[in-house]
Structure 1
């Protein structure tokens, strides 16, 4: 153990905070332990114990469901904090208070509040605090400082040893579990479920989305082990009915304490209706009792989920979706069939090297007339040419092109979508789907927002 270094001067700008955080261990470098985050939060006065919380894990749907839960809690006049990851465009999106991401000034202040303690942990631990551990500490301290009545917290990866898991949440939400991050979490869904089940704590309510029987067995065993109450989609709650509608869908939800009909959800796809049912059950389990039907309708009508089947531009229509694994791609494919009649639909895809890109390509192939392979700015991005080679094996040479620059790739796809006959499709409601990675979608979103 060495003497703690002198604390650096406080950060002055958002860019300085971003640089300081990014200089730490990246999110992709993991050392499975809660030792550092526990030491950090202890130095901060264990801020995570000063508010009640709802903790979410699962393979896909965490951010959308978190946003729905937060909207419902705010409709109940509760002050909320929300922690989600990764961010689409700006790092400060990860920490929201009262439904709004921190502005630059608040983000700098949150960093400076915890920065002196990061050096103490670095000096005392075998490994320094990571980027993710540091931003979790920032979020919990900011929530305590606000103070919030309830925090909605999404795990970064896994569950048991995820840095967010220093909270003992009142409600643990487990969204559908499939294989992702296999290198860190395991090669099959039941193994991954064992890790994710770690957010279910003694005395909590476990809200379980529909799972495969093997995964459900693992989750139920954990709930029995710690004495948690369990509520399950398809048993105690669920989607009673849904109909695609202009701008989203009309849904009926069977909650734990009542049924809510004629609910407009301005998001697309059956998976988002299921996320809404889970969000409703989570809020009911939080101790709010039966919810007023009009309150539920008003809250869901306000829900947004950027980068999740988000229409960002018209003429031609450009849809963004951050699907980055086969499970997510299947949800997108089903929603495209369910809610849209695009012809042709041209894909723009940029993926991370460690993801199952072949699985995603196979799922989307029947739904895309053509695919433009590209890459994002992350050093973890698979090269456009490597993705193109994989895509040709699945789509055929005549349906794939490689355009490494993301902006150029989107322009190429938009041109193809507008001139459907160029790819032997009659001119119709052509559209572009940008997908493959949260980073790709975030960068596309930043580019396209300025052009609308």
Structure 2
């Protein structure tokens, strides 16, 4: 199957991406498909990562640390920012279009033979496992797509299971409480898993400790970021693990929360090796981390930032970084398109503290309609709100409006950040 045919096949199997609904969630379809492919998900050890926020950053940090140690690393993440090939990587490099087409073609060939009609995410997950087996990576770092227990990635038996944190998200599938969400995410813990717990609520921690893993490490008790200072273009960290204190570690990502993610990632990699890492490996691994679309600075005059915050907890962190670390002196301009409760998202972003808010439709059928988003912004006290049909139109107007001392923040979902990125790159370069 060539790449264009593969894209068409994926599009034919979109459901959740278009409707936000999943019928009868189960790992049985992907289990049957991967069995027919020769169980590629069992071809090498796995580090499996779930959590409400920080999964993507933590996965990238783990992958870079493993690669700095000399391993060939397969990384699977979701969603993509601009191109579907971003989801499947070896040592940081995306799968080629030709290789992705071939891998999806293999899934498409076996699926009817085992009586399955997989969804979009299941297809890509199976294709990722097959490609990782074909190119013989040494280890897979796999990001959960949705919650954990019945996520398509949860057919793996991980050596290390990582939980970044727990917040209220995807309550249409698990809820209504944090305990319900934690129990679903704890479903990735297998009998042989060492569990790395980045959550700080003692009652939620117990859920993961009791999930049946072989051992557990808890943030604060067993590992921590002991110093987390603002640095030029990132953070300067001291990190304590069960074996070592690593000092003056530079992480080229914005926001104190990324320092917390770094401690989780380092504890996970140490646990995977059952040994401390050499200082040069830690410094090299973290220095190589990049996270497009996660508080990514695309321009300086005006300050132009995109962030994929997609739930109120992530939006709150985004606002903390924007107003705290950057405290822009000029006008503050917000461009927002979201799929979540608009009042909750805009409140968490502190939209009423911006001088002007440009609301737009995120490029997905699940977007909150722009008229509803505009009403929500006005309901929380935003005085100047302008509506646009598209992310591109909103970004162009924001950049026309902004002066050199101003700051433009584009956020609300990864769909919004992904659509904004190429537009803003053209306008700022």
Q: 2:336 aligns with which of 327, 349, 355?
A: 349
CA distance in 2, matches of 1:256, 1:375: 46
Q: Which moved more, 1:22-31 or 1:32-41?
A: 22-31
CA contact (8 A) 2:294 2:308 kept: yes
Q: Which residue of 2 aligns with 1:217?
A: 206
Shift in alpha-carbon separation, 1:227–1:112, aligned structure 2, 3 A:
closer
1:182 deviation in Å? 0.7
**Residue correspondence of structure 1 range 369-388 to structure 2 within 5 A:** 369-388=355-374
CA distance in 1, matches of 2:267, 2:200: 16
Q: 1:95 aligns with which of 70, 88, 91?
A: 88
CA distance in 2, matches of 1:446, 1:293: 37
Gaps of 5+ in 2: none
Alpha-carbon displacement from aligned partner over 1:182-208 (angstroms, at most 9, x marks no partner): 101212111000000000110211000
CA contact (8 A) 2:410 2:417 kept: yes
Q: Which residue of 2 aligns with 1:120?
A: 113
**Residue correspondence of structure 1 range 420-439 to structure 2 within 5 A:** 429-439=405-415
CA contact (8 A) 1:385 1:404 kept: no
Q: 1:256 aligns with which of 237, 242, 246?
A: 242
1:430 deviation in Å? 1.1
Shift in alpha-carbon separation, 1:68–1:45, aligned structure 2, 3 A:
same
CA distance in 2, matches of 1:279, 1:368: 34
Q: Which residue of 2 aligns with 1:444?
A: 420
Q: Which moved more, 1:70-79 or 1:283-292?
A: 283-292
Shift in alpha-carbon separation, 1:254–1:322, aligned structure 2, 3 A:
same
CA distance in 1, matches of 2:310, 2:276: 36
Q: Which residue of 2 aligns with 1:55?
A: 48
The SS at the match of 2:297 is strand
Q: Which moved more, 1:183-192 or 1:69-78?
A: 183-192
The SS at the match of 1:313 is strand
Q: Which residue of 1 aligns with 2:308?
A: 322
CA distance in 2, matches of 1:280, 1:169: 17
**Residue correspondence of structure 1 range 33-48 to structure 2 within 5 A:** 33-48=26-41
1:62 deviation in Å? 0.6
The SS at the match of 2:402 is helix
Gaps of 5+ in 1: 1-10, 419-427
Q: Which residue of 1 aligns with 2:177?
A: 188
The SS at the match of 1:333 is helix
1:107 deviation in Å? 1.2
Alpha-carbon displacement from aligned partner over 1:225-265 (angstroms, at most 9, x marks no partner): x2420101111001010110111111111122101101111
Q: Following TM superposition, where does structure 1 have runs of at least 4 consecutive aligned residues deviating by more than 4 angstroms?
A: none
CA contact (8 A) 1:159 1:198 kept: yes
CA distance in 2, matches of 1:109, 1:217: 43
CA distance in 2, matches of 1:403, 1:331: 25
Shift in alpha-carbon separation, 1:266–1:367, aligned structure 2, 3 A:
farther
Alpha-carbon displacement from aligned partner over 1:29-50 (angstroms, at most 9, x marks no partner): 4221111111111101111111
1:333 deviation in Å? 1.7
The SS at the match of 1:184 is coil
CA distance in 1, matches of 2:34, 2:264: 30
Q: 1:410 aligns with which of 395, 419, 424?
A: 395
1:439 deviation in Å? 0.5
The SS at the match of 1:395 is coil
Root-mean-square deviation (CA), in Å? 1.5
CA contact (8 A) 1:248 1:268 kept: yes
Q: 1:271 aligns with which of 252, 257, 282?
A: 257
Q: TM-score, normalised by structure 1?
A: 0.90
1:407 deviation in Å? 1.8
